[in-house]
Amino acid sequence: MGIGNHNIGLKEKVTGSDKYFSLLIDNKIFVPLCLCARINILLKKKILYLCHRIPYPPNKGDKIRTFNEIKYLSKNHNIDLITLADDLKDLKYAEHLKKYCRQIKIFPLNKNVAKINGLLSLLFGQSISQGYFYKREFQNTFNSWTESERYDALICFSSPMAEYVFKSKNKIKDIAKTMIMDFCDLDSDKWSQYVQKSTFPLNMIYKKEASRLLRFEKKINKMFNKSVFVSHKEAELFVKYYPEAKDIQIISNGVDYQYFNSKKTEITQSFPSPMLVFSGAMDYYANIDGVIWFAKEILPEIKKKIPEIKFYIVGSNPDPSVKALEKDTSIIVTGFVNDIREYYKAADLCIIPLRIARGVQNKVLEGMAMGKAIISTSQAVQGIHRDVKQVLEIEDDPMKFAEKVISFLNNSSRITELGNAAEKFVVQHHNWGKNLAGLYKT
């Protein structure tokens, strides 16, 4: 029956403090359409969503995934959000999330205080991550909301958010009917990778963190109803470390290919050519390591053949070691930019020289959606669909990486061919709506 301008029959039933409605199509009781929206809200399932970083703007890995999860789930469910903001400038973005959430609480996270709390957590036998992202105000809100109503589902993004569940005054079974942990990546193994790239005493701290965090991840898997990973590689790794793991689901990232669309992107400034681009949060260790490796080991070889080459490092909060790369006049470190799409469109090639990575690298998907040819290390594409090797170039050896860049820059038709194939690939395999359909089913 189409609603149109009709009224809808309504029967109201009240049980305790819960009110729900049964819609009756008959001639006995009628409700004006102005009440339909209210009825719809009451009929929706309630989800409490916890994440360690405000999911707006969706301009970096975890924020892209959390924003799209909330956006997707809000279509058919009521979302309550509790989150942290480690950048005070992000607090203003609460308004952008109100269209997706019933209620929102955002707590500022002072990074210096968080580091102290993280180290204290390590000293008292837990992981740094558990202490770093823990705030009493967050816990109080969590306790208050879960005491006032039992949610249909609780979704935690990133393992430290489970600390609020385990420290809750309420029994886990009373918090929500379904408990979902989106690990995304296996964070404990990232710390293990850091061990290999660090020296004493940091390598000892990272090793302890990897062990403690894995122990916590095992506890979460045991207590929650579902554990979500971004790729088969991440899930397989967890099972390797924890053979008893249960209820694992793979949900890959998507990309907004309507937004990351070269045809819809206008270039508003002049760019040099030939031009290479890397994008990402430039205070993140894996990105820092990757661009420094490229700048020192690969770019000099490219300049021998193409001296006019320019390498753009595009992303917010560049580490001092990244800024220092600008001593080489062929390297431009932009810092934050308003529209990354301009840089993608202007680039001749996107390069992804990550040596510490797994999961799904959004920078790969964005570049592909923009129709760009990409040269990447194998680490950076492990979480993407297995056929990705057909639509981009993969190389781990510095000399061969440089040779491939030179070869591509001398073959514009090959760049166009690979870019077109990459664009079609993400539309087929990395659709947010399709991928998120299994995150929470009623």
Is the CB of residue 213 less than 8 Å from the CB of residue 188? yes
Write out pLDDT tens, residues 231-247. Answer: 888 999 999 999 999 99
| pLDDT of res. 31 | 52
| pLDDT of res. 342 | 96
Q: Do domains 44-251 and 262-429 have the same CATH topology?
A: yes
What's the topology of domain 262-429?
Answer: Rossmann fold (3.40.50)
φ/ψ (deg, to 5) at 317: 50, 55
Residue holding tokens 């045809």? 263
In the predicted model, residues of the chain with pLDDT beneath 70 are 1-42, 358-359
What is 95-144 written as a DSSP string? HHHTTT-SEEEEEE--HHHHHHHHHHHHHTTS-HHHHHT--HHHHHHHHH
| pLDDT of res. 356 | 85
Residues 6+ apart with CB under 8 A from 38: none
| pLDDT of res. 12 | 36
Nearest to 355 by CA among 296, 303, 408, 306: 296
What does the DSSP 8-state code read for residue 8? Answer: B
Is the CB of residue 310 less than 8 Å from the CB of residue 231? no
What is the overall mean pLDDT for the chain? 90
| pLDDT of res. 442 | 77
| pLDDT of res. 95 | 94
| pLDDT of res. 275 | 98
Residues 6+ apart with CB under 8 A from 222: 244, 246
What ranges do the domains of the chain cover? 10-41, 44-251, 262-429
User: How many Å apart are CA 370 and CA 426, to the nearest integer?
Assistant: 10
CATH superfamily of 44-251: Glycogen Phosphorylase B; (3.40.50.2000)
3-state SS assignment for residue 59: coil
